[in-house]
Structure 1
Amino acid sequence: MGGIVGNNSLLAKIGDYGEIEYLFYPQVGYETHFFDSALAVYDKKVKWHWDEDWDISQKYIEETNIFKTILEDDKIILTIKDFVPISHNVLIRRVYIKNKLDKKLNFKLFFYENLRIGENPITNTVKFLEDGCIVKYNGKYIFCIGSDKKIDSFQCGNRYSKTSAYIDIENGILKEHKESSGLLTDSAISWNIKIDEKRSLAFNIYILPQRFDGDFSIITEQLRIIMNNSENIKNLSMNYWKNIIGDIKRFIHPELRQNREIYSITKRALMTLLMLCDKEGGIIAAPSLHPDYRYVWGRDGAYISVALDLFGIRNIPDRFFEFMSKIQNADGSWLQNYYVNGKPRLTAIQIDQIGSILWAMDVHYRLSGDRTFVERYWNMIEKAANYLRLVALNFTPCFDLWEEKFGVFAYTMGAIYAGLKCAYSMSKAVNKRDKVKDWGKTIEFLKHEVPKRFYLEDEERFAKSINPLDKTIDTSILGLSYPFNLIDVDDERMIKTAEAIEKAFKYKVGGIGRYPEDIYFGGNPWIITTLWLSLYYRRLYNVLKEKEDNRADIYLQKSKRLFNWVMKYSFNGLFPEQIHKELGVPMSAIPLGWSNAMFLIYVYENDNVIIP
C-alpha cells in the first residue's frame, strides 16, 4: 500500500514496490507530476522491482518521515529509504545493497523514469548534462535526477519508440542518447555494481523539482549543494520530526498512555497530518488521485486542525484559518472545496462546513487562550455566523457531508448549532456579545426545534434528513450529539439512535459504515464512522458514570470494542478511508486525513475541550 513522504511544498507517493508513483509540487496537492519510476537489476537478464520473486516489506522508520522499502531475493537485499527534508524541496532515495552470497556479485542497477510534468502535460525535453545528471523540463518546471555515486551509463528517449529507455533496460544496455523531446519522454541511469561476499554498499539518488527559466545552472548548483550537505540536511529533518512529536505522550489519555502500539500510531498519525498541510495554509483531505481527494474541504481541514491543536501544534491550524479567511465568500459561506492555491474546484454549498470551521476555531481559541486570534479573525467569524443564523432560521437545504443528497440533514443542523454557539462564545473575547444577541436566540431556537423536527416517533430515533424526509440509518446523525452537542449525549432518543446505527451494520470484518445501503467502493466499514460511534459511546459512558447509571460500563465496553477494531486496520501507522468488508484490506484513499484526525481525537486525554 506504500506511503507518503514530504514537506509543506513537495509530497511524494511511494507505491507498493517502492516506486515513485507521483509528486505534488510546488504545493501539497498541486500540481501533480506523474513519475512512474522503476528500479531494475540486470544480471544476464532483467529483473524489475515488481517481479514476483522479490520478498517485499515496507514501513516507516520510527519517529521520522523516512519510508523504507525492502526487496529481497536469493542473492541481494535491496533497501530504499525515501524522504523529503524539511529544508529543501528534494526527494532523497538512499539505496542500500547487501550481498547475501559467499561470492562476489557483479550486476547493473537501473533507475527509470517516465515523468509527465504538470496537471496538463505538454511537450518536454529530457537531457543528460555533463554535470552527470538527467534533467527533464518544459516551459514551467524542471526536474533533475542525480546521484552521489558516479553514473556509468544513461539513455534519453521516448517511451513508445525504439529509443525508449525502458527497452534499453530490458536489453541490459543503455544507448546513451543525450537528448529527446516529446509528450512521453523517458530516461534511465545505471550503475555497475560490484559487491564482495557478504558486503554492502550505499548511495543516494536525488530528485529535485524547480520552476524553470531556461537556466540549467541553478538546479545543478542546488544539486551539488544538497549532495555536499546531505548528512546535515537529514539530521536537521530528524531533529525537527523528533521535536514535533517529542512530548506528545502527555496529551494521550492516561488509560492509553502506556500502550506502545497506540503511542507509535499516535506519532505516525500526527506526522502524517503534517504532510497534508501546505505552506500557504490549505490542508488537503488525502494525497490520493483515485479517488481524487487532493483538495481542501473546510470540514476535513477543521477536524485535522482540531487534532493538531489537541496535541499542541498551534501554528498550522492558525495558518489554515488564515487560508480560509482569504477564500471566504462575501455572504460568509465557503464553497464545497478548493485547490491548495485557493482557486475553487467544486462550487456546491455544504453548510456543515461553515459550522465546522467555526467549531475548530473555537477549539483553537479555548486551547490557546489567545484573544488576539479572535480579534484577527473576527470579521471572518462574524460573517460566517451571520450566514449560519439565516440558514438556521430557514432550515435551508444543502448537500450532505457525503456529497450525495440534497436536503436538511441532521449532521448539518448539528454543525450549524455548534458553529453558532462557538462564534457566540468567541464574541465575548472581543467584547461583541451585545451585538450578536440574535445568535444566542438562534442557538436556543435550534435547541428546541431540531430534536422536535427530526425525531421519528415510530422508529424511536432521529432521521437522517427532513425536507425531504429520509429515515435512513446514517452514522452522521451522531453529529447531533457528538461532537456538536445540540442534543445531550444521554438523551434516550440519542442513545436509541446510536444503538440502531450499531445494529445496522453486519460486515464480515466488523466495523461501522456510513449507512447500510452505501455502494461507494462497494459499501464498506469506514475508520471515521467506527471511531465516531466509539467516541459517542465513550462520552456517554462518562456522563452516565457521573450520574451513577448502571448502564455506563456497557457503553464503555462497546466503545473499546470499536476502537480495538480500528487499531487492527492501521497500515504502517496510516489509516485509510475504508476497509474492505470481506477482505479486510484498505480501500479508497490512504492515508485519509480525517481518519487519522479522528484517531487522535479518540486518544487525546480529555475531549471536553472540543464539545461546544
Structure 2
Amino acid sequence: MLSLKFLAVGCCALQVVHAVPKWPRESRNEFNIVKRSASSFLQTEVPIALADLLCNIGSAGSCAAGAKSGVVIASPSKTNPDYFYTWTRDSALVFKCIVDTFINSYSSSLQTEIENYINAQAIVQGISNPSGSLSNSGTGLGEPKFNVDETAFTGAWGRPQRDGPALRAIALITYSKWLINNGYQSTANSIVWPIIQNDISYVAQYWNQTGFDLWEEVNGSSFFTIANQHRALVEASALATTLGKSLPNAQTQAAQALCFLQSFWSPSQGYIIANINQNNGRSGKDANTLLGSIHTFDPEGNCDASTFQPCSDRALANHKVVVDSFRSIYSINNGIPAGTAAAVGRYPEDSYQGGNPWYLNTLAAAELLYDALYQWKRIGAITVTSTSLAFFKDLDSSITVGTYSSSSSTYTTLYNAVSNYADGFVNNVATYAPSNGSLAEQYNRNNGQPLSAYDLTWSYAALLTAAARRSGVVPYSWGETSASSVPSVCSYTSAVGTYSSASTGSWPPNQTPTGGSGSTTTSKSTSVSASSTSKSASSTAVATNPVTVTFDEIVTTNFGQTIKIAGNVPALGNWNTGNAVALSADEYTSSNHLWNVGISFAPGTVIQYKYINVASNGDVTWEADPNHTYTVPATGATAVTVNNSWQS
C-alpha cells in the first residue's frame, strides 16, 4: 500500500467490553497452521474479534490510548507500519457495524459509543486540513485521515478521498432510522441530521470528480466510492422526507451516480473494472469491487445487476474473476482449483509489503456469497445467466442458463455448493490465523505467516461481518429496489451544496427501545448448559458482558423451510415475525435435526420466546403454546446453551 492505509468494516450482532489488555505484537503473531472448520473457528473467533474491534476505539478502548472519545484507530501499531490514525472511511464503517449491532440487540454502552462517535464527527467535520475546510464549499470533508486527538494530519497523502462522507452519512442515517422507529425523531432532527446534511451536500457536489481510491493509491474514479455515494444519496433522500427536511438534489444526483456506476462493468471481459478515469496499467481486477457489493448489499433487494447486488450475475461473474486472479500468484493457493476457496489479496499487481493476501478480502469473498444466499432464499429462486454461467459451472459442471425455483433439486445443488464455497473462504482464514485469535492486515503469500499491522480493526470487522451474514443477521434495507433503474441518458453534473458547522449534541437520557412485548401465555422451562471464560496472559479476554445465548432447537424440517426465533425483546424482534432471527441448519443431519443460533443479551434479561417455521413462500407457522421463558445469567457466564424441541 505504499505506506498508505485505510480501514473499512462491518459487524455482527454481538458486544463485548472495550478494555482488553494486549499482549506484545511478537506473541500475537505467533503462528501455526491449524485446520479448523468455519463453524468451530467462528465460535471462538467472533468474541475475540469483537473485543479487539472495540478495544481500538477511544477513549474507553485500552488499545487506543490517547485517542479522543468516539475516535477509531486503524491499528495500535505505531511503527512498521504506523497506523495509529483515524480515517473518516474507517470510522464510518466501524460505526455502521456498531449501529447494526445495537439495533439487533439494545445496549446502553453501545449507545453511548454511538453518541460519542457522532459528537466526534461533528468536531472532525469542522477541522481545516490540507484538503480544505467546511466553509470552503465543504472541501475539507474529503480529507481521508486525522490524528487521533482530533487535529489535522498535514503530511503528504493521497487526497482527497471521496468515499468517507458517503459512508459516514450511511452510518448516521442508520442510527437515525432507529431513533425515528422508537419515537425519538427530534433527536435525529436536531443532533444527527446537521452532520448528515453536510456529508450529503459533499456527495451531491463532488460525486463525479476524481479522487483517491479506498487503497489510497489510484487517483481516478473508484467503483467502491461511486457505489456507496449512490447508496448514501438514496438513503438520505428518504430520511429527509421523513424528517421534513429538504434535499432537492439528492434524488437527481443519485440517479446520475447510478448511471455512471454502469461504466465500471466491462461486458467484454466479464468483470467490474475497479478504477476508471486513470491510467495505472493494471487489469482492474480488485477486491475493491467485492467490498463495493457487500457494503451496498440490501437484504430486501433483488438480484439487480445495475446496483451489483451480491446475487446479481455481474457480482457473481466478478467474484470468479477476482478470486481466480490470485490462484496462480500465491504459493499458498497452489493446486486449489476454480470453484474452491482461496486466499484473496487486493489486486494481482499489488507489491505493498510483498503483495499478499489480506484477511479482510478473503472474508469479503465469503460475505458476498453469504449475502447472495440470503437473497436467493428470500426470492425463492436462483437465476443463471450467460454472464454468471462460468461462476456456477465451477460449482456444477452440468448447469445451464435458466431460473431454478427453490423447490427444484438444481436449486438445492447450487445453494449448497455456494454455501460450501463461502465457508471455504472462512476456512482459509481459519487455517492461517494465529491460534490466539489475533488478525493482522495480511498473511504471507508463501507460508501464511501474519504480516504488516497487527490487530487491524478492519480485519476483525470483516470477520464479524462475514459471521453475521453466515448466521442470517442482516442490516436495514437502504431502498435499493426503488433506486435500481438506470436513466436512459447519463448527465454527469453536480449540485452545489450548503455547509454549516454541526455542534456536539447534548443527548437526551433514556432513549431505549419502545417496541411492544407481544402476547404471552404460560411459560415453559428450558434445559441449559453454561460456560464461562477466564483470561490468562497468553489468551484473548472474552468479556463477561453481555452473555451469548445459543438456542438449540430440535425440529424436523423440509427443504425450503427456515426456523426462526421470535420473542419479547428487541434482539428477538419484539414478537414481529418480520424481525425474527433465523437459526442455522449447518449442523442438521438425518439423525440430529438441529437448528441453532447465538444471540447476545444483557445479563439478567428475562426473555419469552417461541420458534416459527417460515416456508419458502413466506408462510409462517408458530409452534404450540406455551411460550418459552429464560432468564439470562446475571453473573458467572459468558455463554450459555438453551435446549428446546418444537412444541406441537
In the TM superposition, what are the counterparts of 1:151-300 in structure 2 within 5 Å?
259=39, 261-279=41-59, 280-289=69-78, 290-300=80-90
The reply to whether residue 594 of structure 1 matches residue 458 of structure 2 is yes
Partners of 2:358 and 2:272 in 1: CA distance: 21
Question: 2:418 maps to which residue?
Answer: 555
**Distance change (3 Å), C-alpha of 1:358 and 1:606:** farther
Specify which of 217, 220, 223 is matched with residue 410 of structure 1.
223
TM-score, length of structure 1 as denominator length: 0.56
Question: 1:430 maps to which residue?
Answer: 243
**Distance change (3 Å), C-alpha of 1:481 and 1:610:** farther
**Distance change (3 Å), C-alpha of 1:343 and 1:590:** same
TM-superposed CA distance for 1:525, in Å, is 0.7
Letter in 2 for 1:565: N
Partners of 1:322 and 1:7 in 2: CA distance: 21
The reply to whether residue 382 of structure 1 matches residue 215 of structure 2 is no
TM-superposed CA distance for 1:540, in Å, is 1.5
Q: What is the number of residues matched between the two proteins?
A: 368
More strand by share: 1
Question: 1:338 maps to which residue?
Answer: 146
Letter in 2 for 1:500: V
TM-superposed CA distance for 1:363, in Å, is 3.0
Partners of 1:360 and 1:304 in 2: CA distance: 9
In the TM superposition, what are the counterparts of 1:49-128 in structure 2 within 5 Å?
none
TM-superposed CA distance for 1:601, in Å, is 1.4
Question: 1:419 maps to which residue?
Answer: 232
Specify which of 441, 466, 474 is matched with residue 608 of structure 1.
474
Letter in 1 for 2:442: Q
The reply to whether residue 14 of structure 1 matches residue 24 of structure 2 is yes
Letter in 2 for 1:388: V
The reply to whether residue 303 of structure 1 matches residue 93 of structure 2 is yes
Contact residue 223 and residue 292 of structure 2 kept, 8 A: yes
Partners of 2:40 and 2:283 in 1: CA distance: 42
Please give the secondary structure, in 2, of the residue aligned with 1:518.
coil
Partners of 1:456 and 1:574 in 2: CA distance: 38
**Distance change (3 Å), C-alpha of 1:339 and 1:9:** farther
Contact residue 483 and residue 611 of structure 1 kept, 8 A: no
Please give the secondary structure, in 2, of the residue aligned with 1:482.
helix
Please give the secondary structure, in 2, of the residue aligned with 1:472.
coil
Partners of 2:165 and 2:344 in 1: CA distance: 26
The reply to whether residue 566 of structure 1 matches residue 438 of structure 2 is no
Letter in 2 for 1:591: D
Q: Which runs of 5+ in 2 are unaligned?
A: 1-15, 60-68, 103-109, 126-132, 298-306, 333-341, 383-410, 479-648
The reply to whether residue 499 of structure 1 matches residue 317 of structure 2 is no
Letter in 1 for 2:216: E
TM-superposed CA distance for 1:16, in Å, is 3.1
Question: 2:369 maps to which residue?
Answer: 537
Q: Identity over the aligned pairs, expressed in percent?
A: 21
TM-superposed CA distance for 1:358, in Å, is 1.3
Partners of 2:442 and 2:194 in 1: CA distance: 38
**Distance change (3 Å), C-alpha of 1:438 and 1:548:** same
TM-superposed CA distance for 1:334, in Å, is 4.1
Partners of 1:323 and 1:589 in 2: CA distance: 25
TM-superposed CA distance for 1:566, in Å, is 1.8
Question: 1:316 maps to which residue?
Answer: 113
Question: 2:272 maps to which residue?
Answer: 462
Partners of 2:476 and 2:442 in 1: CA distance: 25
Partners of 1:559 and 1:15 in 2: CA distance: 30
TM-superposed CA distance for 1:595, in Å, is 0.8
Partners of 2:438 and 2:25 in 1: CA distance: 14
Deviations along 1:378-437, one digit per CA (max 9) or x if unpaired, are 111111101101122xx21001111111001111111211222232233244221xx213
Question: 1:40 maps to which residue?
Answer: none
Question: 2:586 maps to which residue?
Answer: none
Contact residue 374 and residue 429 of structure 1 kept, 8 A: no
TM-superposed CA distance for 1:519, in Å, is 0.6
Letter in 1 for 2:199: A
**Distance change (3 Å), C-alpha of 1:446 and 1:560:** same
The reply to whether residue 483 of structure 1 matches residue 287 of structure 2 is no
TM-superposed CA distance for 1:518, in Å, is 0.6
Deviations along 1:426-476, one digit per CA (max 9) or x if unpaired, are 3244221xx21320122122223311x222132022211221266420011
**Distance change (3 Å), C-alpha of 1:324 and 1:10:** farther
Deviations along 1:229-268, one digit per CA (max 9) or x if unpaired, are xxxxxxxxxxxxxxxxxxxxxxxxxx98xx5642332211
Please give the secondary structure, in 1, of the residue aligned with 2:220.
strand
Specify which of 200, 206, 223 is matched with residue 391 of structure 1.
206
Letter in 1 for 2:416: D
Partners of 1:320 and 1:399 in 2: CA distance: 25
Letter in 1 for 2:230: Y
Letter in 1 for 2:259: H
TM-superposed CA distance for 1:319, in Å, is 1.3
Partners of 2:162 and 2:442 in 1: CA distance: 25
Partners of 2:473 and 2:248 in 1: CA distance: 28
Please give the secondary structure, in 2, of the residue aligned with 1:590.
coil
Letter in 1 for 2:237: Y
Deviations along 1:327-374, one digit per CA (max 9) or x if unpaired, are 114144141111111111156211111111112223333455453145
Letter in 1 for 2:146: Y
Partners of 2:162 and 2:58 in 1: CA distance: 24
Contact residue 296 and residue 309 of structure 2 kept, 8 A: no
Contact residue 367 and residue 609 of structure 1 kept, 8 A: no
Please give the secondary structure, in 2, of the residue aligned with 1:609.
coil
TM-score, length of structure 2 as denominator length: 0.53
Larger displacement relative to structure 2 (376-385 or 304-313): 304-313
Partners of 1:12 and 1:261 in 2: CA distance: 21
Question: 1:361 maps to which residue?
Answer: 172
Higher RCO structure, 1 or 2 (CA under 8 Å, sep 6+) = 2
TM-superposed CA distance for 1:296, in Å, is 0.4
Contact residue 512 and residue 525 of structure 1 kept, 8 A: yes
**Distance change (3 Å), C-alpha of 1:606 and 1:17:** closer
TM-superposed CA distance for 1:275, in Å, is 1.5
Partners of 1:609 and 1:375 in 2: CA distance: 24
Contact residue 93 and residue 171 of structure 2 kept, 8 A: yes
Letter in 1 for 2:144: Q
TM-superposed CA distance for 1:271, in Å, is 1.4
Q: CA RMSD for the aligned pairs?
A: 2.9
